[in-house]
Structure 1
Amino acid sequence: MYEYVPHRLLRKHVRDIASGAEGELMAVINENVSETAVERWAELAYIRLASGREITTVIDNIESA
């Protein structure tokens, strides 16, 4: 089951270390990211870019911008 995870940077300006993209952290969600029958869960950060497009990255890849 997907669940929202509280985070201190929600609604703050953040940077995705992996891509260098910057935007507002909209949500952190614990999601099943597996592509097989074996479940693998990860906390994904949803970042809204200035263009309005949202990207995802693992939560460990974000930092305050």
Structure 2
Amino acid sequence: MREQYEYVPHRLLRRRVRDIASGVEGELMAVINENVSDCGIERWMELAYIRGASGREFTTAVGNIQPTTDCRP
């Protein structure tokens, strides 16, 4: 079995994004290919770690993020 996680490069890192599942916006801090195995069956998923306005980070599936119209670099 491989490591429990691997960092993945992403074009939106350090940019403002929106989680379309929750509507929450924040800065994309990392994308991690994470082992979310259960019951001994290996399963990997790419998770986006987003830091919201409160400073707390939350995760969502990478497919749920989209850039905001904010023009910050």
Tell me which protein shows more strand as a share of its residues.
Answer: 1
For the pair shown, which has the larger CA radius of gyration, 1 or 2?
A: 2
Establish whether TM, by shorter chain, passes 0.5. yes
In which range does the TM-score fall when normalised by the shorter chain?
Answer: over 0.9
1:34 aligns with 2:12: no
How many residue pairs end up in the alignment? 65
Deviation of 1:33 (Å): 1.3
Q: With the length of structure 2 as denominator, give the TM-score of the two structures.
A: 0.86
* Gap regions ≥5 residues in structure 1: none
Computed over aligned residues only, the root mean square deviation of the Cα atoms, in angstroms, reads 0.7
> How many percent of aligned residue pairs carry the same amino acid?
74
* Gap regions ≥5 residues in structure 2: 69-73
Q: With the length of structure 1 as denominator, give the TM-score of the two structures.
A: 0.95
Structure 1 runs, 4 residues or longer, greater than 3 Å off: none
